[in-house]
């Protein structure tokens, strides 16, 4: 799903996290807000999760790398809070993580 720079606004419906074969989720540079559906944790094929430059709040989904195929996470310039999941450090395929300009707390994972 590639919908970046489309001036989209509003919240993501929970069903968006339940698309069975979702490999790419790119919605950066829109005006999306609200929390991210925890259902993103269920994707075993997710390769790219890019939500930067929106107005998302709350936590980053905890098990984005459930399928071990995640190559990139870009969630910078939102209002995300909480801690960054240690599971990202266990993602062997992960090449890039961009989480700057948020409100995360706790210590950073040195495995990232």
Domain limits of the chain? 9-98
**pLDDT at residue 112, as a whole number:** 59
Q: What would the mean pLDDT of 97-101 be, rounded to a whole number?
A: 97
41-78: pLDDT as tens digits: 777 789 999 999 999 999 998 888 888 899 999 999 99
Q: DSSP string of the chain?
A: -B-TTS--EEEPPGGGGG-TT--EEE--SSEEEEEPPGGGGG-SS--EEE--SSEEEEPPPTTTTTTS---EEE--SSEE-S---GGGGG-TT--EEE--SS---SPPPTT-
pTM of the predicted model as reported, rounded to 2 decimal places? 0.91
Fold of 9-98: 3.80.10
pLDDT at 34 over 90: yes
pLDDT at 110 over 60: no
């Amino acid at each position: 799903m590639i919908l970046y720079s489309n001036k989209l606004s509003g919240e993501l419906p929970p069903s968006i996290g339940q698309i069975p074969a979702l490999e790419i989720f790119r919605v950066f540079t829109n005006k999306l807000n609200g929390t991210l559906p925890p259902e993103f944790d269920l994707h075993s094929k997710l390769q790219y999760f890019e939500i930067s430059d929106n107005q998302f709040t709350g936590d980053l989904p905890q098990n984005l790398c459930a399928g071990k195929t995640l190559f990139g996470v870009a969630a910078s310039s939102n209002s995300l809070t909480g801690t960054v999941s240690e599971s990202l450090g266990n993602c062997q395929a992960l090449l890039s993580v961009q989480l700057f300009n948020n409100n995360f707390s706790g210590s950073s994972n040195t495995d990232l």
